[in-house]
Each structure stands twice: as C-alpha cells, then as structure tokens.
Amino acid sequence: MANKKDKPLISMKNIGKIYDMGSSTYTALENVNLSINKGEYVAIVGPSGAGKSTLMNILGCLDIASTGEYFLDGLNTKCSDNKLSEIRNKKIGFIFQNYNLLPKLNIIENVELPLFYQGMSGKKVREKSMQALEKVGLLKHIKHKPPELSGGQKQRVAIARALVTEPQILLADEPTGALDSKTGKEVLQMMKGLNEEGNTIIMITHDMEIASEAYRIVTVKDGRITSDSNSPSKIREVIR
C-alpha cells in the first residue's frame, strides 16, 4: 500500500485562476495539472504574462486557486487563511528577484525573522540563523545591513532566510533576475548544491538558459502547461 512518502509533495489537479476585474474577468490559469516529488529541481518557464507568478503564488500558498485541487505534502490548501499561512510558513522558503530583505534590520535579524513568526525563541533562533548564514558563506557579515551588501550577497542572505526554517520546498521567482551573469551563475550553483543535499526546488524564470540548470522544465503559455520534460542537463547526466 502506498504510504505518505510515495505521494508527490505537490499535487495540482485542474487548477484554474480567474481574476475578477470588476466588470470583466481574466483567466490567468486554466486546467493546470502538476505533480512534483520530493527532491526534484523543477524550472517553470514561459514568456511574460504566461501565468508563472500566478502559479507561483498558488504553489507558495500566497493565493488560492479559483478552481481545482492543490495538495501540498498531503494537505489540502483549500482551508482558512490562518491555516494557509501556517502551511506557507512551515513548508515553503521563498527566494524573490528583489530579495525582499528588510533594510533596517541587519543580516542575522533578517534571517531570524521567519523563526520568530513560527513562535521559536531564545538561543535556538540565533543558532539556526548562524548555521544558515554559514551555509551561504556570510558569517562574517551578520551585523551588516542589506544596503551595505552587493546584489549577490543580498540574494545569499535571502537564501539563508529561506533555508532557516528547513522548509519542504524552496520556491524561487527569477532568483538571478537582478544579478549580473557571473553572480547569477554563483547563485544558480548554490541552488544546485542545495538540491544535491536533498532540497526540493521550484524556480520560476523567463530565461531558457537559466531554466536548463534545473532537471525538469515545465513550460507555461497562456495560462496552460504546454510541455513538461527532462532538461538538457538531466539528459547529459543520464548519458554520462
């Protein structure tokens, strides 16, 4: 008999999203079926306006679908707002294009924040945050504030903040979008390393070259999934 471990981490069935714009409606997602297992590294790719952010918001429990079913780690996301934020806080680590760090807090305080939201307190908070910052190579900078850091360093802080709660999924929306190509590559290298350590990663991008860093590429166009296949990097690995 299948147990919980065999179930996909993400299971979306016939997901649709209709935005209500007063006098009219706009269908941003239609009939999306997506299943992602623990340990996968998936890129969601598609042109601007395709529905990627809409899909990411639903995947990340920041928004709810208009139609269909979405189970995350076996939990039905059709639930109260409070329950949904609890699921989000426990299960998902977010990495955004523009880092979303709080400029007045120093680095360690930024990383500690999600643990406080979880109700954790005391020494453990500092310990865990230091571990996360060590992982991204930023222990030396913990008292600095975000405006004093380079773009690459800011994104590493954001990765530490995403990791600190040990989430089931890392959800990255254009994580290299604001970085030069060399720094972008370093961030992608870091994400690959995190996947090799067992983290499940979903990365949203409009850039096919960046998407090919992942092992599976899901293409979204006009609110629908138009392809879902292994990426060239995965195929190279299988051949090797």
Ligand X SMILES: Nc1ncnc2c1ncn2[C@@H]1O[C@H](COP(=O)(O)OP(=O)(O)O)[C@@H](O)[C@H]1O
Q: Does 66 bind Mg ion (CB under 5 A)?
A: no
Q: What's the min distance (Å) between Cβ of 204 and Mg ion?
A: 7
Site for Mg ion in 12-41 (CB under 5 A): none
Judge contact between 42 and 69, C-beta under 8 A.
Answer: no
With CB cut-offs between 5 and 8 Å by kind, which of Mg ion, ligand X, none does residue 116 bind? none
Stretch that binds Mg ion, among 47-55, 61-69, 71-79, 182-190 (CB under 5 A): 47-55
Q: Beta strand pairing status for 41-45 and 200-205?
A: parallel
Q: Which stretch binds Mg ion (CB under 5 A): 52-60, 62-70, 72-80, 89-97?
A: 52-60
Question: Cβ of residue 94: shortest distance to ligand X, in angstroms?
Answer: 15
Shortest Cβ 2–Mg ion spacing (Å) = 35
> 3-state class of 169 per DSSP?
strand
Q: Please identify, using beta-carbon distances, which residue of 55 and 169 lies nearer to ligand X.
A: 55
CB of 229 to ligand X, least distance (A): 19
Spatial CA neighbour of 165 closest among 100, 106, 109, 115: 115
Residue number with the shortest CB distance to Mg ion? Answer: 53
Nearest Cα neighbor of 107 from 87, 124, 129 is 129
Q: Considering CB distances under 5 to 8 angstroms, the limit depending on partner class, which of Mg ion, ligand X, none binds residue 188? A: none
Q: Which residues pair with 218 in a beta bridge?
A: 44, 228
Footprint on this chain of ligand X (rule: CB under 6 A):
19, 21, 26, 28, 46, 48-54
Residue 86 CB, nearest distance to ligand X (Å)? 24
Under rule CB under 5 A, residue 53 binds Mg ion: yes
Select the binding partner of residue 60 from ligand X, Mg ion, none (C-beta < 5 to 8 A, by kind).
none
Residue 56 is which amino acid?
M
Look-up of token digits 């955004």: 96
**Cβ neighbourhood burial of 213 (10 Å; 0-12, 13-18, 19+):** buried
Tell me the two tokens of residue 151. Answer: 């773009």
Please give the sequence-ordered ranges of beta strands (E in DSSP) within the chain, or none if there are none: 10-20, 25-36, 41-45, 67-72, 75-76, 92-96, 169-173, 200-205, 216-221, 224-230
